Chains A and B, each alone.
Chain A
Amino acid sequence: MKKIIVCILCLCLFISFCLFAVAAVKEGDLKEAARFYRGKVITSIVPTKPGGSYDIYARLLIPFLEKYTGAKVVVKNISGGGGTMGINAMYRAKPDGLTIGNLMIAGTSHAQMVGAEGIDYDLLKFTYLCRLTDDPQVFVVGKNTPYRNFSDLLKAKEKIKLASTGTSGATYIGALTIKLGFDLANVDVITGYQGGQDCNLAVMRGDVVGMVGSVSGRLRNIKDGDLRPLVVFASKRVPDLPEVPTVFEFGARGDKLNILKAFTITSDYARVFVATPGIPAEKVEFLRITVQKSMQDPKLLEFAKKQGYEINYLPGKEVEKAIKEMFANPPKALIAELKKVM
């Protein structure tokens, strides 16, 4: 008996010693990484032209990243292929920890599941630094439509037209998610509007019944009474629209549930910061810590708020987990539908 206790004690000692050793090594490595970054140039890739929201997020972060990493941060706009070119570049860069970038999970994840043309990246392999913000999506209809709530719409027999941009955009995937996630054969998705805001106008004009898009991009019109929110894509109700139910409150199951979940994950983890895959662990740790410090800097938060850009930090590890979960339960029917157009 005594022997066993001694053995256990020894084991405990050994384990704690090992842990301490690892921690000590880590501390040293982090210092090493900090030394590495001092005076280096970090390239922050933006997959669109200057002036868009990706660009503004990247530029907002520059002074803070520079402050905490000691490196110089340069924004590089690589636009083309609807963002694919820039994201490919983030993926293919040298894994020295000097290339980061921001991207959106919506669109990219579905494109990868479908195996769309030109995609060289693998979202499962990216190094996730953090989530910048979530971007809950809402299904809105025009104020003159007869649908007071989502149940009204589910019962409808007539044709329901939904507006969307091109077939690789989030508005298209959102509209398809409504159609397939609730098995509504009478929904007709009209593609070809120029952007999410254009779709808003299409709904207000009455070209179409409704559309799916970000809450942030529609809140103004909802408050003015021009758009009526029916249902939100989020795991719990959205603070901005407390009376609007989530898509999960209507008892979807099986593949339909996967379809709704996949789209919800893309809006829960909407914008993320990534680095090239295969970066040494200590550099990943260093980048994650500095990104966290930057994102929680009160000055950055104030800057972003002033400009109307949401910052809602979550650690990179959680993003990684969510992406894995999403790819483990792929929305089969949706992918089959997307394959026709991607």
Chain B
Amino acid sequence: MVDALFAGLMIVLSWPTIAYMIVGVIIGLFLGVLPGIGGPVILALLLPFAFTMGKVEALTFLLSAHAVGVTGGSVTAILFGVPGTGTNAATVLDGYPLARKGEAGRAIGAALAASAVGGVIGAFTLAALIPVLRPLVLSFSPAEFLMLSVMGLTFLTALSEGNSLKAAISGLLGLLFSFVGEETIMGTKRFTFGQMYLWDGVKLVPAVVGLFAVAEMVALLAEGGAIARNGSISWRGGPVSGILEVFKKWFLVLRCSIIGIVVGIVPGLGGDVACFLAYGHGAQTTREKEKFGEGNIDGVIAPESANNAKEGGALVPTIGFGIPGSAGMAVLLGALMMIGLTPGKELLQSNLDITFSLVWMVALANILAALFMLIVTPSLAKLTVIDGSILAPGVLVVAFIGAYLSSESLGDVLCALLIGMLGYGMKRYGYSRATFVLGLVLGKIVEQNLFLSLRIYEGPGFLISRRITFVLFVLCILILLFPLFRRRFSPDGTNKNHSEGNDNLR
């Protein structure tokens, strides 16, 4: 086992391999910065190039490009409120407000460091899990998916303390939007108004582009001035301060990485959920004085550590069963087969060194990506002091292209525009957009797994009879009661962080 661990590292560090990794990381970052191009698309684009490479080189090239795609996407999320992929959507919630405060550098530094640390944690958890990988994947069924996503919904409470009515309204509106489209249980088409575009439901990328990028740019134009409100980058804005904060908050990073890993291990829950779960968790436990959604650094660190850790988790079912944990992993599976490796028992027994080299690749690629981005961060942060009337039109164009690229459909552009109008209204009148997105992401998953569980286990008995489900169920109840406890035990009898409510994300 230990031999294989080092043999794996040697594979990655041997000469041409490491060069392919560097090239892969740079391409992955560059493509990741372009909105709408996420991990799976990057892999599909790069696959033809990999044909001409050697086996291990090809795998290194593809895996490192894929692993760091999200890292690039977080930069645009923070600077302009344009998420590179659905996975980066949660980073917008607090990252962009930080950029408005002139702390873009700090936010990017924190995001990159959190990504790198999360990625490394994810990779090594994967390594630690290798012996128990197969039983672990099999212990999660729709009942556990259900409780995980319900737990996500309980985070709505954390995000809506204070002005809970408005936040609850937006959360429910988000749930309502998640019901649009063809549901998978009976094939009924809901709220589609005869439009085939709506059969697939309201998609996350155009929705988030609308809610944040469009709404924020319109607001920026209305207010005048630059993204950094004071027209200058604040002294707290350096990327180094952001990096240091990540290491100070190692426990938050660890917890959020675990959330990411669990979601990654479970195929079919969707990677986007991981970041929102982590974000919700961060909101619940933050000790920063800023409110969540108004530029709290924890709101950047939490989702960023989860989304790179998730990739390590997603490798678990891919390696163990040849069942991809995400869309990107499906393409990676093709690459594995291409170099003549069959996922499943073989990769866990006779080819263990290759399996460990995958772990090292993910870890090293994440660190490299963070280093590369740090070099360019100070110059990128300067974009936030450009006057809005010059910057906003350009950003809007990029945002709409991002919405379009996510599935090459004009419907997505229209969707981004309409939701953008809704988003501006919500911002104006203080309705939380974070809870809206949480509702939108989780609604479908909760519904689907609820019906699946009820049919598989023939009734709601599974809540008690399945061990993991029961533990998660109890946890959900505790999370719901948590604010009450906190209020009782905090010294002045009120909740310090959330006392003025969540008019945030204005």
A-to-B contact residues, CB < 8 Å: 49-51, 55-56, 59, 76-82, 84-85, 117-118, 161, 165-168, 188, 190-195, 197-198, 200-202, 204-205, 207-208, 220-221, 223-224, 226, 303, 306-309, 341-342
Closest chain B CB from A45 CB (angstroms): 11
Report chain B residues within 8 Å CB of A308: 334, 337-338
Q: Which residues of A contact B321 (CB under 8 A)?
A: 200-201, 204, 220-221, 224, 226
Closest 3 CB pairs of A and B: A167-B187, A308-B337, A166-B184
CA distance A223 to B343 in the complex (A): 11
CB pair B456 A307 closer than 8 Å: no
B199 & A221 in contact (Cβ 8 Å cutoff): no
Q: Are B323 and A201 in contact (CB under 8 A)?
A: yes
Q: Find the A residue at minimum CB distance from B328.
A: A51
A50 near B44 (CB under 8 angstroms)?
yes
Inter-subunit contact B142/A307 (CB<8 Å) = no
Within 8 A of A (CB), among B396-436: 406-409, 411
Q: Please, which residues of chain A bring their CB within 8 A of the CB of B406?
A: 49
Whether a CB of chain A sits under 8 angstroms from the CB of B476 is no
Contact among B184, B196, B322, B408 for A81, CB-based, below 8 A: B196
Q: Could you tell me the distance between the alpha carbons of A192 and B409 in the complex, rounded to whole angstroms?
A: 26
Inter-chain contacts of B81 with A (CB < 8 A): none
Q: Which of B138, B330, B338, B451 contacts A204 (CB 8 A)?
A: B138
Contact B322 A221 (CB under 8 A): yes
A77 touches B344 (CB 8 A): no
Residues of A within 8 A of B334 (CB): 56, 307-309
Q: How far is the CA of A303 from the CA of B344 in the complex (A)?
A: 23
A191 to B184, CA, bound (A): 7
Who on chain A is nearest to B186 by CB?
A341
A341 to B344, CA, bound (A): 36
Chain A residues whose C-beta falls within 8 Å of the C-beta of B43 in the assembled complex: 51
Report A272 CB to chain B, min CB distance, Å. 21
A–B Cβ pairs within 8 angstroms, 21 of them: A50-B44, A51-B40, A51-B44, A55-B44, A59-B48, A81-B200, A118-B199, A165-B184, A167-B187, A168-B187, A191-B185, A194-B448, A198-B323, A201-B321, A205-B138, A207-B142, A208-B456, A220-B321, A220-B322, A224-B345, A341-B186
Q: Are A51 and B327 in contact (CB under 8 A)?
A: yes
Interface residue from A118, A167, A220 paired with B343 (Cβ < 8 Å):
A220
**How many angstroms between the C-alpha atoms of A70 and B41 in the bound complex?**
28
CB distance from B179 to the nearest CB of A (A): 15
Also in contact, A195 and B268, with CB within 8 A (given A80-B200, A307-B47): yes
Residue of chain B at shortest CB distance from A303: B51
Task: Pick the residue among B184, B327, B407 that contacts A77 (CB under 8 A).
Answer: B407
- The answer to whether A192 touches B452, judged by C-beta atoms less than 8 angstroms apart, is yes
Between A84, A165, A197, A221, the greatest number of chain B beta carbons within 10 A of the residue's beta carbon is seen for: A197
Q: Which B residues lie within 8 Å of A49 (CB)?
A: 406-408
Docked complex Cα distance between A192 and B187 (Å): 9
In angstroms, how far is the closest chain A Cβ from the Cβ of B334?
Answer: 5
Scan B156-193; emit 1 where CB is below 8 A from any A CB, else 0: 00000000000000000000000000101111010000
Question: Chain A: which residue is nearest B339 at the CB level?
Answer: A306
A81 to B199, CA, bound (A): 5
Q: Are A205 and B199 in contact (CB under 8 A)?
A: no
Which residues does chain B contribute within 8 Å of A117, judged by CB atoms?
189
In the complex, B28 has a CB within 8 A of chain A:
no
B267 interface residue per 8 A CB criterion: yes
> Which residues of A have CB within 8 Å of B197?
80-81, 85
B452 contacts which chain A residues (CB < 8 A)? Answer: 190, 192-193, 207
Contact A118 B344 (CB under 8 A): no
B200 touches A79 (CB 8 A): yes
Alpha-carbon gap, A208 to B41, bound state (A): 33
A192 contacts B185, CB within 8 Å? yes
Q: In the complex, which residues of chain A have a beta carbon less than 8 angstroms from the beta carbon of B280?
A: none
Q: Of A55, A161, A167, A208, which is in contact with the most chain B CB atoms at under 10 Å from its CB?
A: A167
Contacts of A342 in B (CB 8 A): 187
User: At the interface, yes or no: B137 with Cβ under 8 Å from chain A?
Assistant: yes
Taking a contact as CB atoms under 8 Å apart, the answer to whether A201 and B41 are in contact is: no
**Contact between B44 and A56, CB atoms less than 8 A apart:** yes
Q: Does B317 contact A (CB under 8 A)?
A: yes
CB of B265 to closest CB in A, whole Å: 11
Task: Please give, as numbers and ranges, the residues of chain A lying within 8 Å of B381 by CB-CB distance.
Answer: none
B residues 313-343 touching A (CB-CB < 8 Å): 317, 321-324, 327, 330-331, 334-335, 337-338, 342-343
Closest Cβ neighbor of B343 among chain A residues: A220
CB distance from B148 to the nearest CB of A (A): 14
Question: When the two chains form their complex, are residues A220 and B196 in contact, meaning their CB atoms are under 8 A apart?
Answer: no
Minimum Cβ distance to chain A for residue B283 (Å): 28
Contacts of B200 in A (CB 8 A): 79-82
Partner of A198, one of B268, B327, B344: B268
Contact assessment for A190 and B455 in the assembled complex, using a CB-CB cutoff below 8 Å: yes
B456:A80 contact, CB within 8 angstroms: no
Complex: how many Å from CA A188 to CA B323?
25
Beyond the given A80-B199, A307-B334, please list 8 additional residue pairs across the A-B interface where CB-CB is below 8 A.
A77-B407, A77-B408, A85-B197, A166-B182, A191-B184, A201-B321, A207-B142, A309-B334
| Closest chain B residue to A197, Cβ basis | B323
In angstroms, Cα B141 to Cα A144, docked, is 17
Q: Determine if A51 and B41 form an interchain contact, defined as CB atoms under 8 angstroms apart.
A: yes
Task: Name the residue of chain A whose CB is nearest to the CB of B405.
Answer: A50
The residues of A that contact B184 with a CB separation of less than 8 Å are 165-167, 191-194
Residue from A59, A81, A202, A306 in contact with B338 in the complex, judged by beta carbons closer than 8 Å: A306
Minimum distance in angstroms from A222 CB to a CB of chain B: 10
Q: Are A79 and B456 in contact (CB under 8 A)?
A: no
Residues of B within 8 A of A161 (CB): 455-456
Asked if residues B268 and A193 are in contact (CB atoms below 8 Å), the reply is yes
CA of A49 to CA of B86 in the docked complex: distance in angstroms? 15
